[in-house]
Amino acid sequence: MFDLNIYAVGLAVVLSIAVTAWLSSIQKQDVSFVDSLWSLFFLVLALVYSLWAPALETRAYILLCAVAVWALRLSVFIALRNRGRPEDRRYQAIRAENEPGFWYKSLYLVFGLQAVLAWIISLPLLGGILGAAPLGWLDYAAMLLWLIGFGFEAIGDRQLAAFKADPANKGQVLDRGLWRYTRHPNYFGEACIWWGYYLFALSAGAWWSIVGSILMTILLLRVSGVSLLEKDITERRPAYRDYIQRTNAFFPGPPRAPSGND
């Protein structure tokens, strides 16, 4: 079920939050906190869709709980990770490329853009929450896929945080735990979570919401996720090239033997 009015209300709400956050960033001279806001956009959108829905089925409550757990964990994790740190290098580069006037350009380059992207990506949440079809096997498959994704993302984040917290690992590359099998277990987990949301929506009859999960996957693989991060890490840590040869970029798999061509 697609309801343009409810969907439009969601856009208005997240844009309002984005503008408020942008005003705060002007005072702080730091836009990095938009990263901890990103997952909260989806929680707000899910709440809006639920509040404006004519009725809620069991699936809607399951989705709300799943989104709340995922969004709050990720937001708190990022906020704690960035606490006390200067503006992230990515945003420093964007700031440098858009001066003078980044203070107002950041409204649409950072905050507005992320709000709109979240709104588009939230289509599976809209479809799943508004759908009235009874629970079926796709919903149980969605729960399983979500649990796998949440595990990869949460455990991967925790392993990386512990690795970085040890001074002995400075300049080294994490290749243990989940990071032994994929170079980006957190991004792989994120993708699983969003395809889980799509299975919920598909079970509800909202096949058209696949756009949201596809867009999230593209962002993770080609835009702000794997591609951007790997370019930055490879430039700073030459040892990462060997890690690339041994380890899958995204989908988990057994480590490969070094090629020996270097």
| pLDDT number for residue 258 | 66
- Tell me the mean pLDDT in the region 100-124: 96
**Would you say residue 103 has pLDDT above 80?**
yes
Q: Does residue 61 contact residue 131 with C-beta atoms inside 8 Å?
A: no
In which band, very low, low, confident or very high, does the pLDDT at 222 lie, cut at 50, 70 and 90? confident
Query: Which among 60, 67, 59 has a CA at the least distance from the CA of 38?
Result: 67
Residue 262: predicted pLDDT:
39
Tell me, what's the pLDDT at 257?
77
The answer, yes or no, to whether residue 117 has pLDDT greater than 70, is yes
How much is the average pLDDT of 37-50? 97
Q: At residue 231, does pLDDT exceed 90?
A: no
Closest CA to 139 of 238, 220, 57, 252: 57
Q: What is the domain partition of the chain in residue ranges? A: 4-246
pLDDT digits (tens, 9 = 90+) for 12-40: 999 999 999 999 999 989 999 899 999 99
Residue 135, both tokens: 């629970």
3-state secondary structure the chain: CCCHHHHHHHHHHHHHHHHHHHHHHHHHCCCCCHHHHHHHHHHHHHHHHHHHCCCCCHHHHHHHHHHHHHHHHHHHHHHHHHCCCCCCHHHHHHHHHCCCCHHHHHHHHHHHHHHHHHHHHCHHHHHHHHCCCCCCHHHHHHHHHHHHHHHHHHHHHHHHHHHHHCHHHCCCCCCCHHHHCCCCHHHHHHHHHHHHHHHHHHHCCCHHHHHHHHHHHHHHHHHCCHHHHHHHHHHHCCCHHHHHHHCCCCCCCCCCCCCCCC
Of 243 and 64, more confident: 64
Asked whether residue 156 carries a pLDDT value surpassing 90, the answer given is yes
Answering whether pTM is above 0.95, one says: no
What are 171-193's pLDDT values in tens digits?
A: 888 989 999 999 999 999 999 99
Tell me the pLDDT tens digit for each residue of 120-141. Answer: 999 999 999 999 899 999 999 9
Q: What percent of the chain has pLDDT over 90?
A: 75
User: For the chain, what is the radius of gyration of the CA atoms?
Assistant: 19
Q: Is the pLDDT of residue 261 over 50?
A: no
pLDDT of 200 above 60: yes
Mean pLDDT, all residues of the chain: 92
Per-residue pLDDT at 64: 97
Write down how long the chain is: 262
- Region 190-205 average pLDDT: 97
pLDDT, mean of residues 182-209: 96
Distance separating alpha carbons of residues 209 and 201, to the nearest angstrom: 7
Confidence of residue 212 (pLDDT cuts 50, 70, 90): very high
